[in-house]
Structure 1
Amino acid sequence: MKSDRIDHIGIAVKSIEERLSVYRDLLKLEVTGIEELQDRGLKVAFVKVGDTRIELLESISENSQISRFLESRGEGIHHIAFHVDNVKAAIEEAVSLGLKPLSTEPEAGAGGTKVVFLHPKSTGGVLTELVEGHH
């Protein structure tokens, strides 16, 4: 497995609409999509920056991962995501290297992608996402 780029940087926010004042209004970046992921209790917005994206993550459920993150740490960088060609193979390789995927099978991500997260305790404190499917 080889990653060829950062797919996105996830940022936990209390309000996507409020934070778009920075990315859309000040920096004049294009918002390429806003989507609700009901099963994960999230609303996400993607902002294009060159060949990568910023993903704004807003909680729409009291017990989502983002609501817990915001309660304990406040707004800020939540994860970094790398594009991979095959997330299933990436999970197997991660395990062989002693890393700890949060799931053994790819999960559905925003925009029809397949994703897996690697536990930050196995990646030096950085929640790392591997993404298959976005170009």
Structure 2
Amino acid sequence: MPTEARAKLSFFKLGSIQLELIEPDHHPSTWRESLDRNGEGFHHIAFFVNGMKEKISLWQRNQIPILQKGENAVGHYAYAYMDTLPQLKLLIELLEQEKS
């Protein structure tokens, strides 16, 4: 389902880890929902994958629904947030980089 949600993003590379800070706007999104429900803190852990559609289907077959998906503003990657809140108390984000 499309959303008007936007966010300010800041990325920090820390060796093999990338820290992403997200400040959501007022529109409905998983970011806004998490901030309103839990306050500031961890929202998700991201993993780069190949074959995004197949990975999403696999998770959904295992009763883990997708909450939000899309592409970044410049189209370099696609993302999907999977609803792992009941199991992990945070979301798992799947990322797939655009193939050059």
TM-score under structure 2 normalisation? 0.75
1:109 aligns with 2:72: yes
Partners of 2:32 and 2:80 in 1: CA distance: 20
Q: Which has the larger radius of gyration?
A: 1
More helix by share: 1
Look up the match of 2:91.
Answer: 127
Q: Is residue 118–residue 128 contact of structure 1 (8 Å, CA) maintained in 2?
A: yes
- By how many angstroms is 1:110 displaced? 5.9
- By how many angstroms is 1:55 displaced? 0.6
- By how many angstroms is 1:95 displaced? 1.7
Equivalent residues in 2 for 1:64-103, closer than 5 Å = 64-65=28-29, 66-102=31-67
2:6 pairs, out of 41, 49, 56, with 41
Q: Is residue 47–residue 95 contact of structure 2 (8 Å, CA) maintained in 1?
A: yes
- By how many angstroms is 1:122 displaced? 5.3
SS in 1 for 2:36: helix
Identity %: 27
Amino acid across the alignment from 2:94? L
**Aligned-pair Cα RMSD in Å:** 2.5
TM-score under structure 1 normalisation? 0.58
How many residues end up aligned between the 2 structures? 94
Structure 1 ranges of 4+ moved more than 4 A: none
Q: Is residue 107–residue 114 contact of structure 1 (8 Å, CA) maintained in 2?
A: yes
